[in-house]
Amino acid sequence: MNAGMQFPPNVLAAECPSRQVLKHLTSQWGVLVLLALQDGTQRFSALRRRVGGVSERMLAQTLQVLEGDGLVLRVAHQVVPPHVDYSLTPLGAEAAQRVADLTGWIEAKLPEILAAQGA
């Protein structure tokens, strides 16, 4: 439907829109937020505590991007002080699974990788 789009999608092609999605999913904070959300619905401040080192600004931005891709669901309860719940959409859960596979592998193989770095 789109002008620059090609079939099938191919991330190795510079102009393919999948490239943008890839960037979102593999962004530093995108990966970690997806991972954190695997534990279930959480609110902003809880996520911030869970994802080590993320700033409020980056967390907010990352959540907006992921929401824009349909991976994260944002539910704001109209109360004061604010209460907002974030969770994975079904699509987001699938993505989170692949991301978790990758991070899980890294954690498991870290000793080997660290050893290779030393060499």
Partner DNA sequence: CGGTATACTTACTAAAATGTATGTTCTTCC
Partner DNA sequence: GGAAGAACATACATTTTAGTAAGTATACCG
Task: Measure the CA–CA gap between 98 and 96, rounded to whole angstroms.
Answer: 6
Please tell me the count of residues contacting DNA according to CB under 7 A: 26
Q: How many helices (H) and strands (E) does the chain have?
A: 5, 3
Please tell me the count of residues contacting its own copies according to CB under 8 A: 51
Contact indicator for 6, 15 with CB cutoff of 8 Å:
yes
- 3-class secondary-structure state, position 74: strand
Stretch that binds DNA, among 4-12, 72-80, 93-101, 108-116 (CB under 7 A): 72-80
DSSP state of 51: S
Site string for its own copies, 14-53 (x = CB under 8 A): xxxxx--xxx-xxxx--xx--xx-------------xxxx
Helical axes 56-68 vs 28-37, angle rounded to 10°:
80
Q: Does 75 bind its own copies (CB under 8 A)?
A: no
Q: Which residues bind its own copies (CB under 8 A)?
A: 2, 8-18, 21-23, 25-28, 31-32, 35-36, 50-53, 68-71, 91, 94-95, 98-99, 101-103, 105-107, 109-110, 112-117, 119
